[in-house]
Structure 1
Amino acid sequence: MNTALFNLGFRPFFLVGAAFAVFSMALWVGPFFPTALMWHAHEMVYGFAVAIVAGFLLTAVRNWTGIQTLYGLPLAGLVGIWLSARLLALSKATLPWAAFLDLVFLLALWAAVSWPIVQVKQRRQWGILTCLGFVVLGQLIFALGEFEVWRAGQRTGILIGLYAVLGLIFILGRRVIPFFTERGVGYPVTIKQYPWLDRWLMPIYSLFAVLVIVFPEIVVDRLLAMTLAVLHGIRLAGWHTPGIWRKPLLWILFVAYGWLIIGFALYGAGMTSLAVHAFAVGGLGGMILGMICRVSLGHTGRNIHQPPKAVGALFLLLMTAAVFRTAMPLFFSEYTVVWYRLAGITWIVAYLGFLWWYAPMLWQPRVDGKPG
């Protein structure tokens, strides 16, 4: 296939994922699907977020293992399955086919990612495979709810997917944020690491996620959430150095991680809906936008220290969306619908900006002539 778009996984999946972030949010804030709450929640996790995860992992696994991941026609086929599922999910009449294709897509993705890791016996990546496996499980459970086999299946499946993707963010964030910071601030710095945090954070988070899904809104959930807020705050403070604020591709990762901490604090305070949107909009949405802006530069042969000048504004727009969706309804609840609309609009503009500046990079060959 003679096109750079399908040379490596990040190219098509970052493109369609960002486009879907715009399209799906436009439908949600517009008059088209005013009551489709489950559609919105499902598509944000299993449509938008999973597409970006697919692009990142299909690219990263090649680097980690030295084994070529999907490219060319097989990669185009996987993208086609994802796109077909998104289109079929727009109509109630075709939801069974959408659910089926989502499962096919996720199983194929899990196989494509796990095979190289298993081949080289990289035990370090097993946590990533486990999180991705829970995403597959979540989609299966969502489908059972969709077909009225399990009454709570839709909610349960969406939450499993959300917390599994957040688990991926925590695993990958622990690796890349200190690494990017030490090499990106422009002066010598040694990031503070706390081995005891590394040992305990994921087990505590896993327990929190299980309890939130199985026994929602109990006292133990809230205590664990507050504990996670404190522990992640300690970790983030250890990573911090003042130079990050001069580098948009760095500060967005810190601010997005901060939104994850805010999400835990809100959950601990009993504000479940606001917590979920702090996780999803500020945390997940911010981390995704920051990472795809950086990865798209590096893997197209461009200088990661010289991003388009507009990226800082795009990041500010997305953080504004998070404020509109979480903080403003908390303090000015009489205008809640207005804040929701403004959050959706600023989210749309942020991801439209990514498409404007980065889409040509994604479909054009690398500027350094290297493969990928």
Structure 2
Amino acid sequence: MATIPLQEPVYRGHSGPVFFAGGFRPFFLFTALQAFLSLPLWLAVYVGGVSLDLPFAAALWHGHEMVFGFAGAAIAGFLLTAVPNWTNSHHISGKPLMLLFFLWLAGRLAFTLSGFLPAVLVALVDLSFLPLLAMMMARPLLSAGKWRNIAFLPILALFTLANLSVHLHILFGLGDGMTGVYAGLTMVLTMIAIVGGRIIPSFTQNWLRMQGHAIEVTPLAWLEKGGAVGSVVVGMVLAMAAPTSILAGIVLLLAASIHALRLGRWHGAKTAKSPILWVLHVGYGWLVLGLALLGSSSFFPALPMSAALHALTAGCVGTMIMAVMSRAALGHSGRQLLVSPLIVVAYVLLSLGALLRVVAPILSDAQMALTHAGGSLWALAWGLFVWVYFPILTRPRADGRPG
């Protein structure tokens, strides 16, 4: 079975701030901080209590920052930690990492302050982050000949083009900015399908063996060699090109079935005693639900697409990001892979908040109240993550090793 082990990269000596000793530190912390801070701001904008004076729809700001800001930071933290391990190369630290991080942060500030800055400047700042990340990842991957993992480079390229399309809409009125956001979401879901398909069965199988259950998760070749990832990409592309069409509905429901089959083979029901493990299964389950809801919206007009999109974003993307970050941060800071009770609460609040946000547009009479409740619980989950992981991500490793 192909896996992506989240093990130790090769750390060279680092004499600067420990916060920039490894990519997971700044990017994981600020992924959580952005979720904790920007969601309440969006709720205030949503009800009309706050205006950002944006030269475009506020919903575009919200979608862009969740996909390219929140998810973009999490992707950076993951790749900066995983690629050195895959390639046995030195990790990015110190000034290069500082530059990359501050470009990401500048992009967040620039896009939020778009009403006060030239659109060209906002685009240049925001678009500089992902290409630099790709360049940093390309050299070790290509030098090591890790062709199986080089697939992440074209995904990053497409992710960048999706972001570019948002800015082209803002600058020149070309296309629909939200299409760029949905294209970016498609790339995020593609990465989840790839990474989740490698780490979830591997971690589950290893843990079950430690519990005395010799279970072998045998992969289905057609699923792991394109079927799972392809179904997500084709389904999402059809949803963008022909939303609510019968063809899109059929393909999306087929994709949901494929991923349900995949998830069902990973023995998630046997991981109830390990929160750091079952949360990965829950996160992947949100992918199944989101695809199923998006496909069903083609056949049931009363089921709004926004319900499905929040299952995919607040549910799948949010849960998978917290699941991977909470595990990787412990391992790479020299700690045992045991999450605190507060993080278990955060896992539950995250899914509960996502569920309320999914239900909100379906129950129109209670939509505003459910939207606020769901968003508040979701943000609170990230607040708990920040509370627990701030000292872990800002202090030296518990085992005294570098990184």
Class of the TM-score when normalised by the shorter of the 2 chains: over 0.9
Q: CA separation in 1, counterparts of 2:292 and 2:51?
A: 31
Q: For residue 89 of structure 1, what is the aligned residue in structure 2?
A: 111
Q: For residue 369 of structure 1, what is the aligned residue in structure 2?
A: 400
From 335, 341, 354, the counterpart of 1:309: 341
From 374, 377, 382, the counterpart of 1:346: 377
Q: For residue 358 of structure 2, what is the aligned residue in structure 1?
A: 326
Q: CA separation in 2, counterparts of 1:145 and 1:10?
A: 32
Alignment of 1:239 with 2:261, yes or no, is no
Structure 1 stretch 213-222 or stretch 314-323: which is displaced more? 213-222
- In structure 2, give the amino acid aligned to 1:117: L
Structure 1 stretch 200-209 or stretch 42-51: which is displaced more? 200-209
From 243, 262, 283, the counterpart of 1:256: 283
Unaligned residue ranges in structure 1 (runs of 5+): none
Q: CA separation in 2, counterparts of 1:289 and 1:301?
A: 19
Structure 2 matches for 1:179-258, cutoff 5 A? 179-185=202-208, 186-188=211-213, 189-199=215-225, 200-258=227-285
Q: State the aligned residue count.
A: 369
Q: CA separation in 1, counterparts of 2:64 and 2:366?
A: 26
What are the superposed Cα offsets for residues 183-221 of structure 1, whole Å, 9 maximum, x if unpaired? 224233222422222232222322223222333332211
Q: For residue 167 of structure 1, what is the aligned residue in structure 2?
A: 190
- TM-score, length-scaled by structure 2: 0.88
Structure 1 stretch 66-75 or stretch 288-297: which is displaced more? 66-75
Structure 1 stretch 29-38 or stretch 343-352: which is displaced more? 29-38
User: Is contact 1:256–1:284 with CA below 8 Å preserved after alignment?
Assistant: yes
Q: CA separation in 1, counterparts of 2:365 and 2:126?
A: 38
User: Is contact 1:325–1:343 with CA below 8 Å preserved after alignment?
Assistant: yes
Deviation at 1:241, TM superposition (A): 4.4
Alignment of 1:283 with 2:316, yes or no, is yes
- TM-score, length-scaled by structure 1: 0.95
Please give the secondary structure, in 2, of the residue aligned with 1:93: coil
What are the superposed Cα offsets for residues 95-145 of structure 1, whole Å, 9 maximum, x if unpaired? 432321121111101111122111111110122222111111101111100
Q: For residue 3 of structure 2, what is the aligned residue in structure 1?
A: none
Structure 2 matches for 1:78-117, cutoff 5 A? 78-91=100-113, 92-94=115-117, 95-117=119-141
Alignment of 1:294 with 2:327, yes or no, is yes
- In structure 1, give the amino acid aligned to 2:292: A
Q: CA separation in 1, counterparts of 2:233 and 2:400?
A: 43
Q: CA separation in 1, counterparts of 2:29 and 2:230?
A: 34
Structure 2 matches for 1:57-76, cutoff 5 A? 57-76=79-98
User: Is contact 1:114–1:129 with CA below 8 Å preserved after alignment?
Assistant: yes
Q: CA separation in 1, counterparts of 2:140 and 2:385?
A: 30
Unaligned residue ranges in structure 2 (runs of 5+): 1-14, 298-303
Q: CA separation in 1, counterparts of 2:147 and 2:175?
A: 37
User: Is contact 2:307–2:360 with CA below 8 Å preserved after alignment?
Assistant: no
